């Protein structure tokens, strides 16, 4: 239960006012020791400082020198029922939903199938170093129970919710407002704030929501003010035009959500690729967060997220894999694509900023930074053990690196799940990679 783990460590001890300045706020301890006790971080120290502080006898000592330990990755946007249809060819958002996504989600009405998939889904997260995620379920109450049960078994800190939708979807997925409200309420009562689990109201997006459904979502947010809210915003030009048609009285896409009381510090909007100035301002004023999903945005040809603009407006950012429009569970791969998306817009994303968004910045955007995201005393002990050299190419490239920033940048650019050697959740090793 008590461990003293010796390795190199990388984190951000404090929330950043300006993520673009991340390089000067990172903490890198080349030879450190992390003390954990019953799932909580006691302290992170330099190896030389250790003797004054702790009694060796009380801790199980693990020598992981040669590895770098990061806080667990935080995925701020991912779909549980889309694990089986990642990499579906040829279509952009609206056709992709019709052709591949809705049919895949229908299968989750089968509770046994959902249970089997929930285990596979969360194990994929752990193998990729993701310890916390904000997760879209399917429309089914039972499948959402299955997801929470699987997360509870793994002691993972997740926030998830049943999708709500009541138009323009296949009959098998289409709800009545009253049942959507009631099933959501049941799930909140069962799971919200149960151990490390929390609930997110999950209206899929404006086009599949009638005004009556959005009213019900707003009512739930009023009844349970501390639940989260997740949805999609401004991903694709046809989607945006459709929202204008369906909600002609609203000034822009975000105004629809804002009107129903769905913006706020616990609201996370995925994508946000084609925002108007007023929408940026509304996100900032309401303290809402954005999930930046580069592999998805490239895969569906949706557009390029403007990180510089997000900084100018001081809007919180987290990273999202957006499985299954996104193409990898790996936050390393996701950051590597984020770098390329920003290069196309002449913004040179630093590796420090990238890792900030995947760790503490993600925690801030989910309002979980009092619990996870770095190695401060009292935080929950979720972390990942990374080997920066698991392929011949990585080794020869790392040999030319002159400092830690270059080493981490090469990790981000060439890395993937093979670099994640262990994933620790709540103070115990939940995944250990055995292959090479
Ligand atoms: N917009 C509405 N639903 C979805 C979805 O499942 N994936 C993505 N990428 N965008 C959406
Ligand atoms: Zn999505």
390 by DSSP, 3-state: which?
coil
Tokens 């694709």 locate to 236
| Spatial contact of 144 and 158, defined as CB atoms under 8 Å apart | no
Q: Which of 199, 319, 202, 304 is nearest to 257 (CA)?
A: 202
The tens digit of pLDDT for each residue in 24-60 reads 999 999 999 999 999 999 999 999 988 766 677 889 9
Taking the CA of 238 as reference, the closest ligand is: 1
Taking the CA of 295 as reference, the closest ligand is: 1
79 lines ligand 1 (CB under 6 A): yes
Residues 146 and 120: their CA atoms lie apart, in Å, by 12
205 lines ligand 1 (CB under 6 A): yes
Mind giving me the DSSP string for 354-411?
A: HHHHHTHHHHHHTT-TTTSSS--TTSB--EEEE-S--SHHHHHHHTT--SHHHHHHHH
The tens digit of pLDDT for each residue in 139-190 reads 999 999 999 999 999 999 999 999 999 999 999 999 999 999 999 999 999 9
> Mean pLDDT for the chain?
97
101 lines ligand 1 (CB under 6 A): yes
429 by DSSP, 3-state: which?
strand
Res 51: pLDDT: 74
Ligand 1 test: best mutation among 84, 102, 170, 270, most atoms within 8 Å of CB? 270
Looking at residue 194, what DSSP letter applies? B
Length of the chain, in residues: 436
Q: CA quadruple 265, 270, 273, 274: dihedral positive or negative? A: negative
Ligand 1 centroid distance, CA of 336 (Å): 22
Res 50: pLDDT: 84
105 lines ligand 1 (CB under 6 A): no
Q: Which of 190, 178, 170 is nearest to 100 (CA)?
A: 170
Relative to beta strand 428-432, strand 420-425 is antiparallel
Tokens 């929950």 locate to 380
Res 1: pLDDT: 87
Specify the ligand 1 atom closest to the Cα of 293: 9
What number is the average pLDDT over the span 199-226? Answer: 98
Specify the ligand 1 atom closest to the Cα of 79: 6
Q: Reply yes or no on whether the pLDDT at 3 is more than 90.
A: yes
Q: Which residues pair with 272 in a beta bridge?
A: none
Q: Which residues contact 197 (CB under 8 A, 6 or more apart)?
A: 148, 151, 152, 157, 158, 159, 160, 191
Res 55: pLDDT: 75
Specify the ligand 1 atom closest to the Cα of 325: 9
Specify the ligand 1 atom closest to the Cα of 205: 2
Q: Tokens at residue 39, please? A: 């799932």
Ligand 2 centroid distance, CA of 78 (Å): 6
Q: Which residues pair with 8 in a beta bridge?
A: 68
Q: What is the pTM of this model?
A: 0.98
Taking the CA of 100 as reference, the closest ligand is: 1
Residues 280 and 221: their CA atoms lie apart, in Å, by 22
Ligand 1 centroid distance, CA of 387 (Å): 34
Q: Tokens at residue 399, please? A: 């040999």
CA distances 61 to 2, 46, 185, Å, are: 9, 15, 45
Taking the CA of 325 as reference, the closest ligand is: 1
Q: Reply yes or no on whether the pLDDT at 381 is more than 90.
A: yes
Query: What share of the chain has pLDDT > 90, as a percent?
Result: 97
Tokens 């979807």 locate to 169
- Four-CA torsion 245, 251, 253, 258, nearest 10 degrees: -130
Q: Reply yes or no on whether the pLDDT at 124 is more than 70.
A: yes
The tens digit of pLDDT for each residue in 277-333 reads 999 999 999 999 999 999 999 999 999 999 999 999 999 999 999 999 999 999 999
| Among protein residues, the one whose CA lies closest to atom 11 of ligand 1 | 232
Looking at residue 35, what DSSP letter applies? E
């Amino acid at each position: 239960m008590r461990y003293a783990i010796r390795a190199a460590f990388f984190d951000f001890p404090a929330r950043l006012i300006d993520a673009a300045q991340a390089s000067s706020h990172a903490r890198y301890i080349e030879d450190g020791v992390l003390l954990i006790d019953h799932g909580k971080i006691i302290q992170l120290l330099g190896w030389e400082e250790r003797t004054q502080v702790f009694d060796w006898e009380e801790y199980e000592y693990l020598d992981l020198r040669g590895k770098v330990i990061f806080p667990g990755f935080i995925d701020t946007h991912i779909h549980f029922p889309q694990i089986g249809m990642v990499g579906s060819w040829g279509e952009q958002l609206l056709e992709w939903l019709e052709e591949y996504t809705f049919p895949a989600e229908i299968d989750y009405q089968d509770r046994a199938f959902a249970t089997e998939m929930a285990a596979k889904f969360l194990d994929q997260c752990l193998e990729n170093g993701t310890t916390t995620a904000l997760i879209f379920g399917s429309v089914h109450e039972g499948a959402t129970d299955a997801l929470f049960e699987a997360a509870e078994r793994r002691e993972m800190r997740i926030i998830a919710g049943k999708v709500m939708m009541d138009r323009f979807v296949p009959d098998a997925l289409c709800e009545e407002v009253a049942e959507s409200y009631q099933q959501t309420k049941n799930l909140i009562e069962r799971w919200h704030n149960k151990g490390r689990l929390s609930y997110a109201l999950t209206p899929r997006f404006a086009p599949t929501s009638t005004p009556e459904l959005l009213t019900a979502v707003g009512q739930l947010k009023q009844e349970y003010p501390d639940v989260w809210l997740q949805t999609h915003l401004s991903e694709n030009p046809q989607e945006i035009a459709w929202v204008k048609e369906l909600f002609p009285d609203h000034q822009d896409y975000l105004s629809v959500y804002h009107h129903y009381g769905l913006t706020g510090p616990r609201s996370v909007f995925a994508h946000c690729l084609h925002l108007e100035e007023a929408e940026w301002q509304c996100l900032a004023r309401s303290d809402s967060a954005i999930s930046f999903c580069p592999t998805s945005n490239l895969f569906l040809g949706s557009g390029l997220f403007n990180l510089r603009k997000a900084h100018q407006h001081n809007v919180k950012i987290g990273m999202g894999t957006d499985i299954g429009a996104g193409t990898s569970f790996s936050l390393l791969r996701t950051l590597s694509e984020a770098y390329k998306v920003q290069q196309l817009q002449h913004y040179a994303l630093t590796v420090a900023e990238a890792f900030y968004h995947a760790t503490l910045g993600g925690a801030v955007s989910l309002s979980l930074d009092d619990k996870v995201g770095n190695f401060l005393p009292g935080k929950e002990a979720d972390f990942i053990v990374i080997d920066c050299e698991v392929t011949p190419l990585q080794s020869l490239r790392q040999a030319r690196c002159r400092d830690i920033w270059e080493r981490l940048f090469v990790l981000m650019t060439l890395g993937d799940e093979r670099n994640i050697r262990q994933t620790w959740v709540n103070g115990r090793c939940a995944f250990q990679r055995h292959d090479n």
